[in-house]
Amino acid sequence: MLEQNKKRESCAIETPYVIKHIPLTASCYLLLENIYKTLHVIFFLGEPVQLGDSFWSDSTCAQKCTCTSSGLQCQNQPCTFSQICRRDAFQFSCQTVQRRTCTISGDPHYYTFDGAVFHFQGTCTYILSEQCGDGQPYYRVEGSNEHRGSTHVSWTRLVKVFVYNETIELVKGRLVSSDVVFANSWKAPGEDDDGCGTGCGGLGCASCTDAQTALYGNSDHCGILQNSSGPFAACHEELPPQNFMESCVFDLCFGRGYQPILCQALSAYASQCQQNGVQLPSWRRQGFCEIPCPANSHFESQGTGCPATCVNPNSTQNCPLPAQESCICNSGYILSGGNCVPHAQCGCSFEGNYYHSGETVILDQDCGRQCNCSYGSMSCQPYGCGPLESCKLEEGERGCRPNSFGTCWIRGPGSYQTFDGLTYQYPGACQLTLAKVMGMSSHPHFVVSAEKVPQAQQGFARVLKFEVDGQLIRLPFTSANSGIQIYHSSIHSIILRTSFGVTVQTVWPHFVRITAPVVYSSSIGGLCGNFNGHPHDDFRTPNGILVNSSQAFGDSWRDGSLSAHCVETMDHNNETNFNTTEHCGLLALSGGPFSACWDRVNPWQQVDVCVEILRSSANPASALCEVFRDYALMCQQKGVTLGHWRNATGCELTCPSNSHYEVCGTSCPSTCPSLSFPFSCNTPCQEGCQCDDGFVLNGNQCVPPTGCGCHHQGRYRQGGEQFWAGDECQSLCSCNGTTGIVHCVPNSCGAQESCRVVGGEYGCHPSPHGTCSASGDPHYLTFDRNAYDFQGTCRYVLATLCNDTTGLHQFSVEARNEAWRGLPVSITAEVFVNVWGYRVHMSRQNHVGELVVSWLSPLHLSLGLLGRWKGTTAAVMGVALPVLNVPMTNLLELSVK
């Protein structure tokens, strides 16, 4: 069984025998994957390996092995970006291949694998690339385009990649000469995006004037790409910049010189240069195309294409990808799902997916498991959907989704339709709870309230507030962490969507729509009813008591502290017959402008509501147009667009500057934040004012892109706005509207300030008030809470400034005491306030700056100071120490703000 063999040079020490074709035992060899080592002779896949031979161990080419006199030596050495792993005889090797790149940039410009360039403005979903032959793994890449600020050009909104186990029908493969025909031929099958259109092709879609071409083609703009001594010159020979230059000018004509669009065009060329192996000098600088990096990271112009991640912490070693501009985690941090975290906070790799530390997910086709990642370990518990839910995959996340929804409508000055369909009238109060989760619920708690603020003789202004799990969120606001999305659906309309299915839409004035999933059935309270499917018991108070009048029901859900100011009188003395077709009856007119919607929204019920609204309105003509608009909006929510009903009713809408009316406009209009952070929405179209071409929404105004501000950590900031950041206000930030970049510098609150939220604004605010008081005969309580009695009957200084008073307003408060009814005690008879050169003799309902003086009776005087006066007051009331944090008492107040 042993054969004599000639001595040969091999990856071994000298040996005269080779074992073959016999069963071997563990003592004869060591099996390392496909490599066999027998009596110091190395075999790979049954073939001997010679001394000095090098090869890759398997089809991944992850490790390169070399045969040495001491044995086989292997180390990590994957193929480079320009190589591919292929079998060579019985071995694997990294073989050089020609790679080519297809790029889509700007609005949008297509640079094909073969170097052709074309421009196409369609707004559908298109196949960008897919495998069209046999023998290679199948893949497909789709891109979805949208209009953003102009109907003449489109931008890439979304890219989808399909690989492995995907089967599609080939669309078309014929050669065409037109960019538009070619692009439309690759429209993805089955994609019916809202607003999907063919668009136009070529650089003529957005015409540039000669002046614009000259301006945007100079070296301060796109011309920097062609500057022979500029930062991109090193790439000219490898990649001529002419096409990128023309595309850049085209984009800036649309964007009116908006710098972020210029930076995007320059970045597209720089990226292509790096893909071709050309390393450029840094072309970004402060104030020009700088990249703000997330927390715990920094920018590198020649960053690695394989950053270290929690899943693969050694990925930077032997990276096969070319260098690229990127944000790199600081030392001690590592990438975890796009965020740089300390190594100890890495998440979990579980069943082929990575999850953040602390993340909870629902798994399996039937949502049978709920799993949580904690300290790198995944723990799972049995889970299941409720009777009113189904297990569905939405936006990449599996979960239990509600089977149906209920809608509550608030219209006019006081017309309500509950989740269960009950319609009633209630004139209102200052603050009303519309919908609120009552009691215990396993679903997220929320509160929606409407606040009416008196405004002299101009009636009431209504402000919408939204609260989730105790946190009040001010509009506009976006937060990926809390799953809340808020956006303008038109100039006068805002839509708020939550990840748990609650949606709020407001259309000013006098229209609010709240949609809640059926899982909240019987667990909601407020003016929208209890959502139990039975309208007859909707009039339940917060205590659960069923009342029999809308007035009593509504009063129970208002803020009692404001009720004295908040009664809206409803004049029902108008004897006009509003049921006629000249008024509300038009809703139910056969063949009228609203008849196409009758099978979706009951017109007769809306006629009754209309009559009530008009009878209580001081301006019935304006109120009637609002009622018609509300009905049209309700129809559009049901999928019915009523055409040009405004022309038929004389309710033409006057739109603000730089905008126009559309009967079925997009519900995802271009906004300043969406220029850099686009998002998708599936809200039906709606009528209203839309920005003109070349303008985007900034709040409720249409401005050119150059009038936009900054998007920072989920919040939109106006150009020039300053704001505080950090858990303890460690940074003061400002928004550069020209660049769209936020700059932050270290800072802190002053000695008499604290970092907190006041009036919805986060930042450094004066510390809370300190209070001193004189009461009884009289008993004094100082700012520092020291109590003493004093019975003098003269005029005394209660408080005034002392020490260094720089930056504080000079003031003094004095009180004159007098004997009381012949007893050996004294009481306060008069109070005198000196501030800003004025002398005020104490009386109720007067105002004295930020100083608050309250005189409840001859036996009680209270003086309140903002915390920034701490340590600067003297006299009878004492000196306020920094530890003081006393709120004002509920006394009658004398104050000026």
Exposure on the CB side of residue 815, measured as CA atoms within 13 A: 29
Same domain membership, residue 262 and residue 170: no
Tokens of 425: 């009238």
CA dihedral angle for residue 341, residue 344, residue 347, residue 349, rounded to 10 degrees: 130
| Distance between CA atoms of residues 826 and 818, nearest Å | 5
| Distance between CA atoms of residues 436 and 468, nearest Å | 10
What's the pLDDT at 575? Answer: 67
Same domain membership, residue 242 and residue 139: no
Same domain membership, residue 423 and residue 524: yes
Amino acid residing at 653: L
What's the pLDDT at 492? Answer: 81
Tell me what the mean pLDDT of segment 355-383 comes to: 93
| Distance between CA atoms of residues 733 and 711, nearest Å | 12
Does residue 283 form part of some domain? no
This prediction's pTM: 0.62
Same domain membership, residue 15 and residue 84: yes
What's the pLDDT at 676? Answer: 56
Same domain membership, residue 719 and residue 692: no
Same domain membership, residue 771 and residue 744: no
Same domain membership, residue 854 and residue 748: no
Last residue of a domain, one of 80, 96, 112: 96
Tokens of 51: 């001394």
Same domain membership, residue 835 and residue 771: yes
Q: What digits encode the pLDDT tens for the residues 464-478?
A: 555 544 445 545 566
Q: In the chain, how many domains are there? A: 10
Same domain membership, residue 485 and residue 451: yes
Does residue 191 form part of some domain? no
What's the pLDDT at 481? Answer: 66
Does residue 726 form part of some domain? yes
Residue 366 lies in domain: 353-400
Same domain membership, residue 627 and residue 663: no
Same domain membership, residue 697 and residue 609: no
- Looking at residue 314, the DSSP 8-state letter turns out to be T
Check whether 342 has a pLDDT greater than 90: yes
What's the pLDDT at 496? Answer: 84
Does residue 499 form part of some domain? yes
Check whether 429 has a pLDDT greater than 70: no
Does residue 236 form part of some domain? yes
Last residue of a domain, one of 151, 185, 219: 185
Give 3's pLDDT tier (boundaries 50, 70, 90): very low
CB 567 within 8 A of CB 558: no
How would DSSP label each residue in 539-600? -B-TT--B-S-HHHHHHHTB-GGGGGG-PPP--------TTSTTTGGGGG-TTSTTGGGTTT
Check whether 396 has a pLDDT greater than 90: no
Check whether 570 has a pLDDT greater than 90: no
Does residue 890 form part of some domain? no
Does residue 465 form part of some domain? yes
Does residue 282 form part of some domain? no
Pairing of strands 369-374, 377-382: antiparallel
CATH of the domain at 674: 2.10.25.10
Same domain membership, residue 384 and residue 419: no
CB 367 within 8 A of CB 377: no
Give 692's pLDDT tier (boundaries 50, 70, 90): confident
**Residue 859, CA distances (Å) to 539, 815, 817 in order:** 46, 12, 10
Tokens of 863: 């003086």
The percentage of the chain sitting over the pLDDT mark of 70, rounded to a whole number, equals 72
What's the pLDDT at 118? Answer: 72
Tell me what the mean pLDDT of segment 174-188 comes to: 38
Selection from 130-144, 235-249, 440-454 with the highest mean pLDDT: 235-249
Instruction: Please provide the average confidence, as pLDDT, over all residues in the chain.
Output: 75
| Distance between CA atoms of residues 669 and 487, nearest Å | 9
